[in-house]
Amino acid sequence: MSKYITTPIYYVNGEAHIGHAYTTFIADSMARYEKLKGEDTYFLTGTDEHGQKIEESAQKNDKPTQQFADEISAGFKNLWDDFEISYDKFIRTTDEEHKIGVQKAFEVMYNKGDIYKDFYEGHYCVSCETFFTETQLVDGEFCPDCGRSTNIIKEESYFFRLSKYEDALLKHYADNPDFIMPRSRANEVINFVKGGLRDLSVTRTSFTWGVKMPESIKDDKHVMYVWLDALLNYITALGYGKDEANMHYWPASVQFVGKDILRFHAIYWPAFLMSLDLPLPQHIGAHGWWTRDGEKMSKSKGNVVSPREVADAYGVENLRYFMLREVPFGQDGDFSQRAFIDRINSELSNDLGNLLNRIIGMSGKYSDFEIDSVDVLKYHTKEIDAMNTVLDSLDAYMENLQTHRYLEELWKLFSIGNKAIEEHAPWVKMKEGKRDEALATVALVANILAKASIMLSPVMPKTTSTIADALSFSIDHAGYRELIEDKKLLKLFNIKPVPPLFPRVEEPLMAEAPLAHPNVSEESSKTEDNSKKEEDNLIEIGQFFETSLKVGVVVEAEEVPKSKKLLKLQVDLGEERPRQVVAGIREFYTPESLLNTQVCVVANLKPAKLMGMISEGMLLAAKDEEGLCLVRPEKPKKAGTPIG
Q: Report yes or no: 469 and 453 within 8 Å, Cβ to Cβ.
A: no
Contacts of 36 (CB under 8 A, 6+ apart): 454, 457, 458, 475, 476, 477, 480
Local structure of residue 14 (DSSP, 8 states):
S
Give the residue among 418, 478, 430 at the shortest CA–CA distance from 598.
418
CA distance 198 to 569: 75
Q: Report yes or no: 289 and 24 within 8 Å, Cβ to Cβ.
A: no
CA distance 617 to 506: 18
Q: Report yes or no: 298 and 255 within 8 Å, Cβ to Cβ.
A: no
Residue 545: CB atoms within 10 A of its CB come to 12
Single-letter residue type at 284? I
Contacts of 575 (CB under 8 A, 6+ apart): 504, 640
Q: Measure CA of the first residue to CA of the last residue in the chain; give whole Å.
A: 54
Q: How far is CA 431 from CA 438, 568, 591, 596, in A?
A: 10, 20, 12, 13
DSSP for 471-486 reads TT---SHHHHIIIIIS
Q: Cite the DSSP H helix spans in 139-182.
A: 166-175
C-alpha 430, offset from chain centre: 41
CA distance 250 to 372: 46
CA distance 574 to 502: 10
Q: Is 629 annotated as a binding residue?
A: no
Q: Is 125 annotated as a binding residue?
A: yes
Query: Which secondary-structure segment (H or E) carries 82?
Result: helix 65-82
Strands 40-48 and 290-292 turn out to be unpaired
Q: Report yes or no: 9 and 48 within 8 Å, Cβ to Cβ.
A: yes
CA distance 267 to 280: 11
Local structure of residue 40 (DSSP, 8 states):
E
Q: Report yes or no: 133 and 150 within 8 Å, Cβ to Cβ.
A: no
Query: Which secondary-structure segment (H or E) carries 86?
Result: none
Instruction: Name the binding residues.
Output: 125, 128, 143, 146
Instruction: Name the binding residues for Zn(2+).
Output: 125, 128, 143, 146
